[in-house]
Amino acid sequence: MSAVPILFVDHAAALGGAQYCLLLLLEYLDRRRFAPRLATQPGALAEEAARLQVPIDYVALTRLRHQLPAPARVVRATAVLRRIILREQIALVHHNTMRASVAATLAAGLTRRPVVWHVHDIFRRGVYARWMCRRSSAAIAVSAAAARPLPCHHKVHVIPNGVRLEDFSADRHEEAAELRAQWGVPPQAPLVAQIARLQPWKGQRDVIAAAEMLLRRRSDLYFVLVGGDIFDDARSYAERLRSVAGRSEFSRRIVFAGQRTDIPVVLQAVDVLVHASIDEPFGRVLIEAGAAGVPVVAYDGGGVAEIVEHERTGLLVPAHDQRELAAALARVLDAPERAHAMGAAARARVRDQFDARQLTREIESVFDAALTA
């Protein structure tokens, strides 16, 4: 029996959380049963997929919001995807981002193929969500928080993102020590990290405010903000952040590390992860921290509580509360043995619930059901 051809569609040139999720899916997909193909734009995602020996088709997928030429571009993208589906005899279409979703869904409809909507965001109940629900054969939501607003619960499967566990189990202490030295952080100094692309809703301003509160009473502490403007849509925000931190009396102990791909090394270099996103649909870095055994202090809300167990694998505080964020960080930093126990519990939880290989089998079951419906 030949493998079933599946077309995966994603607009991104850079690698965000949704794209890392897709790459793991492509890596662990059972190639005896499924033959993946990727439609995307030139960039890091296409390069990484090609290394996995996934055939690539380049398609221009336009931003849908506030773009006057968007309808014409969607029509062109739909036509290109339709030709790919027919040429490659694609049996199922999977789309991974909002920008890819409309053209991919239209192309699947025109060719009478089932389409699976992978939901990485928390959408309001509105025209887009209703339309996607009607047109999709099935939806995969990365969290119950992402699934809850969708008006088609009978089609929705909650399957969280996963990690490659072995990436976070190797000993990288020498590399981690070198990284600390690059950042100007002494070997034994407590180090708190935020790892997130630069966007206002990711909460870097709150992290800087909490850092200043803690640094007033701890002279040994350092903060590192890892992340960049990877989609080139937050330049002014990044500039404001650096200006705010630069004016702080503690600016030398608040490090901007930029975008990095060596997250397992970063996590071995730090003691606590702080996560200040608002209404986070999932938060891939939370499971990466768990896999690395790093305790988390996070704003509650969205899908975060589905990953972080309060008082067991980390601490959750109300969103927007900078003082509570600082106090929770202090609790973890002031109790190293408890922090170590939280990290160990987080590692066990990720091993049991967020293994990318096992979660890929669950996604394959959704594909099977869509193909036989």
Give percent above pLDDT 90 in the chain.
Answer: 89
Q: Tens digit of pLDDT for each residue in 82-96?
A: 999 999 999 999 999
In order, the DSSP letters of 117-178 are EEE-S---SSHHHHHHHHH-SEEEESSHHHHTT-S-GGGEEE----B-GGGGTS--HHHHHH
Predicted confidence (pLDDT) per residue in 130-171, tens digit: 999 999 999 999 999 999 999 999 999 999 999 999 999 888
In sequence order, which residues have a C-beta less than 8 Å from that of residue 214 and are 6 or more positions away? 221, 326, 329, 330, 333
pLDDT at 69 over 60: no
User: What pLDDT score was predicted for residue 20?
Assistant: 96
Reply yes or no on whether the pLDDT at 55 is more than 80.
yes
CB of 95 closer than 8 Å to CB of 104: yes
Domains along the chain? 4-162+355-372 (3.40.50.2000), 165-353 (3.40.50.2000)
Give the E-state strand segments of 318-370 in sequence order. Answer: none
Show Cβ contacts of residue 211 under 8 Å, excluding neighbours closer than 6 positions: 192, 223, 250, 253, 254, 326
Secondary structure class of 289 (helix, strand, coil) = helix
φ, ψ for residue 330, nearest 5 deg: -60, -40
Q: Supply the pLDDT for residue 64.
A: 60
* Residue 68 confidence (pLDDT): 44
Going by C-alpha positions, the residue among 34, 33, 28 that lies closest to residue 6 is 34
User: 253-290: per-residue pLDDT in tens?
Assistant: 999 999 999 999 999 999 999 999 999 999 999 999 99
Mean pLDDT of the chain: 95
The CA-atom distances, in angstroms, between 164 and each of 25, 70, 219, 259 are 11, 37, 36, 20
Distance CA 185, CA 253 (A): 8
- Nearest-angstrom CA–CA distance, 292 and 286: 10
In this predicted model, what pLDDT tens digit does every residue of 102-136 receive, in sequence order? 999 999 999 999 999 999 999 988 999 999 999 99
- Rounded Cα distance, 44 and 308, in Å: 30
Which is higher by pLDDT, 249 or 80?
A: 80
Query: pLDDT tens for residues 195-246?
Result: 999 999 999 999 999 999 999 999 899 999 999 988 877 788 989 999 998 8
For residue 200, give the DSSP letter: G
Output 367 or 219, whichever has higher pLDDT.
Answer: 367
